[in-house]
Amino acid sequence: MAVPSIKFDTAETLISAYKMPTGAKWSDATRTNAIARLREMGAPNKRDEYWKYTDPSALTAIPAANAALFENDETPMFDSIDRLRVVFVDGVYDPAQSDDLSGENVVIETLGDALGKDIHWAKDLFGALEADGQNPVPRPLATLNTAVASEGLVIHATGKVNRPIAIRYVHSSESSDAMVHHVIKVEEGADITLLESGPGAARFNSVVEVDIADNGGFHHVRTQGRDHERKTVTHMFARLGRESTFKSFTMTVNGVLTRNDTVIELTGDDAHATVGGASAGDGTGFHHDDTVFITHDAVNCESRQVFKKVLRNGATGVFQGKILVKPDAQKTDGYQISQGLLLDEDSNFLAKPELEIYADDVACSHGSTVGAIDDDTLFYLTSRGIPRQEAQDMLVLAFLGEAIEEIEDEALAADILDRMDAWMKRRQG
């Protein structure tokens, strides 16, 4: 197939639309290199196999379309727990609303500060995990982010970090077009929890690069604000060392376009990765896409992917998940499940669950199911006096609950479940 030149034209438009920030020599070199890589790979296009089910044009349009602010009276996510709070408004760090960036066993800097230092550990990670994650499929929007994002956090966990780092992304301008880039290094035996919430901006492009050393742990829970018109693309690149743990969970509700790309590489033996997601779309044009690519490149590693999507009133849910087992990754245990629950005739579920396996001593499986609520189960509940609507809500929540259960911290899981419950009861929007 000839590669349409529009890919490259769009890449040029993107490169000239954003200004490359300057910092230390090494970070400037990384950014210049990212621009060169972006030129070579081109911008994503709906004809790309990797974007088969999601049209990326709203993510590459210059200028970004406006998005109305979403008024609601909900208390912000994660407010009830003891955390280190960091606020970004339209993608810009707001020290006034944030806690002091210091904590036990952790050093937190802004991206701008870290990238301005001549000597910094982030040199080996910033843009490096993103560049590694470009194979075999290019992810140009992450490369663009590396090249031009000036905001973000650089986090160094040196031991067990007791208070989660909770980042709140506030959407305050209808015409905001934001990019944030976080770099996280989890040292040997260290452990950290990152919480993210909020819509971020009218158009929000985020990249998180996480390097987890041997025996390290990284926990991530994210809720993406339900501003109807927001467009979001996120990339998480994680590299796992020996006996390390990576757990990420995302709750997505509404939003006209959400694409969450998670790229994980298990490079040390006996590592474990879980990626989970529960999403709900209620309304025409709401579209969310979870794309996961897990590479097993070490012995005796385990990976789990659990995604549940509830869709109604014309919403679309997409899941693309892949497990790649390299030739020497023996004793791999790979599991993947993606399920769609369609509450009416107008909604769509599209899935591409893939396995690519080059080692023989493995146990890999994937499953995918799509359907409506089971009539028999509904009948069972209604025959016991539960009103139909309530029964349906119970079943939907139980369905999503199977993904939410993947969150290790029970208090966080309960919080997410309550939030989903409240949203379900609200209906419409």
Partner 1 sequence: MSEVIVKEGVDEETVEAVKSIAGKYKYGFNTDVEMEYAPLGLSEDIVRLISEKNEEPEWMLEWRLAAYRRWLQMEEPNWAMVEYPKIDFQDQYYYARPKSMENKPKSLDEVDPKLLETYAKLGIPLKEQALLAGVEAPEEERKVAVDAVFDSVSVGTTFQEELKKAGVIFMPISEAIKEHPELVKKYLGSVVPQSDNFYATLNSAVFSDGSFVYVPEGTKCPMELSTYFRINAENTGQFERTLIIAEKGSYVSYLEGCTAPQRDIAQLHAAVVELVILEDAEIKYSTVQNWYPGDEDGKGGIYNFVTKRADCRGDRAKVMWTQVETGSAVTWKYPSCILRGDDSQGEFYSIAIANHHQQADTGTKMVHLGKNTKSRIVSKGISAGVAQNTYRGLVSMHPKAKNSRNYTQCDSLLIGDKCGAHTVPYIEVKNNSSRVEHEATTSKVDDDQMFYCRQRGMDEEEAVALIVNGFAKEVLQALPMEFAMEAQALVAISLEGSVG
Which of 60, 353, 396, 403 binds partner 1 (CB under 8 A)? It is: 353
232-255 burial, b at 16+ Cβ within 10 Å, e below that, comes to: bbbbbbbbbbbbbbbbbbbbbbbb
Query: Residue 39 or 366: which CB sits closer to partner 1?
Result: 366
Which of 372, 398, 411, 422 binds partner 1 (CB under 8 A)? It is: 372
Q: Does 369 bind partner 1 (CB under 8 A)?
A: yes
Instruction: Using the Cα atoms of residue 152, residue 184, residue 327 and residue 334 in order, give the sign of their dihedral.
Output: negative
Site for partner 1 in 321-340 (CB under 8 A): 327, 330, 340
Query: Residue 358 or 379: which CB sits closer to partner 1?
Result: 358
Residue 240 amino acid letter? L
Paired with 334 in beta bridges are 303, 364
Q: How far is the CB of 320 from partner 1 (least distance, A)?
A: 10
Query: Residue 14 or 391: which CB sits closer to partner 1?
Result: 391
Which of 4, 63, 95, 371 binds partner 1 (CB under 8 A)? It is: 371
Q: Does 363 bind partner 1 (CB under 8 A)?
A: yes
DSSP state, 65? P
Q: How far is the CB of 366 from partner 1 (least distance, A)?
A: 5
Q: Does 366 bind partner 1 (CB under 8 A)?
A: yes
Task: Give the list of residues 6+ apart from residue 324 with CB closer than 8 angstroms, or none.
Answer: 293, 294, 295, 296, 356, 357
Stretch that binds partner 1, among 35-43, 163-171, 361-369, 412-420 (CB under 8 A): 361-369
DSSP code string of 286-339: -EEEEEEEEEE-STT-EEEEEEEEEEETT-EEEEEEEEEE-TT-TT-EEEEEEE
Q: Does 357 bind partner 1 (CB under 8 A)?
A: yes
Stretch that binds partner 1, among 227-235, 282-290, 343-351, 380-388 (CB under 8 A): 343-351
**Burial of 376 per CB tally in 10 Å (0-12, 13-18, 19+):** exposed
Which of 208, 342, 404, 417 binds partner 1 (CB under 8 A)? It is: 342
Between 278 and 317, how does the x/- string for binding to partner 1 read (CB under 8 A)? ----------------------------------------
Query: Residue 198 or 353: which CB sits closer to partner 1?
Result: 353
**Burial of 375 per CB tally in 10 Å (0-12, 13-18, 19+):** exposed
Run of H or E including 23:
none
Q: How far is the CB of 316 from partner 1 (least distance, A)?
A: 9
Q: Are the CB atoms for 220 and 191 separated by under 8 Å?
A: no
Site for partner 1 in 17-76 (CB under 8 A): 49, 52
Q: How far is the CB of 394 from partner 1 (least distance, A)?
A: 18
Stretch that binds partner 1, among 12-20, 155-163, 231-239, 348-356 (CB under 8 A): 348-356
Number of H helices, E strands in the chain: 9, 20
Q: How far is the CB of 392 from partner 1 (least distance, A)?
A: 13
Q: Are the CB atoms for 297 and 266 separated by under 8 Å?
A: yes
Tokens 């911008």 sit at which residue? 43
Token pair listed for 187: 């040292």
Which of 71, 82, 345, 410 binds partner 1 (CB under 8 A)? It is: 345
Rg (CA), the chain: 21
Q: Does 378 bind partner 1 (CB under 8 A)?
A: no
Q: How far is the CB of 361 from partner 1 (least distance, A)?
A: 6
Stretch that binds partner 1, among 88-96, 222-230, 294-302, 370-378 (CB under 8 A): 370-378
Q: Does 356 bind partner 1 (CB under 8 A)?
A: yes
Which of 162, 348, 377, 382 binds partner 1 (CB under 8 A)? It is: 348
Q: How far is 14 from 64, CA to CA, in rounded Å?
A: 11
Q: What are phi and psi of 29, to 5 degrees?
A: -65, -40
Tokens 């590694």 sit at which residue? 132
Q: How far is 336 from 102, CA to CA, in rounded Å?
A: 38
| Strand, coil or helix: 181 | strand
CA dist 405 to 79, 168, 392, 398, 410, Å?
21, 23, 20, 10, 8
Residues binding partner 1: number (CB under 8 A): 37
Binding site for partner 1 (CB under 8 A): 1-2, 49, 52, 327, 330, 340, 342-345, 347-372
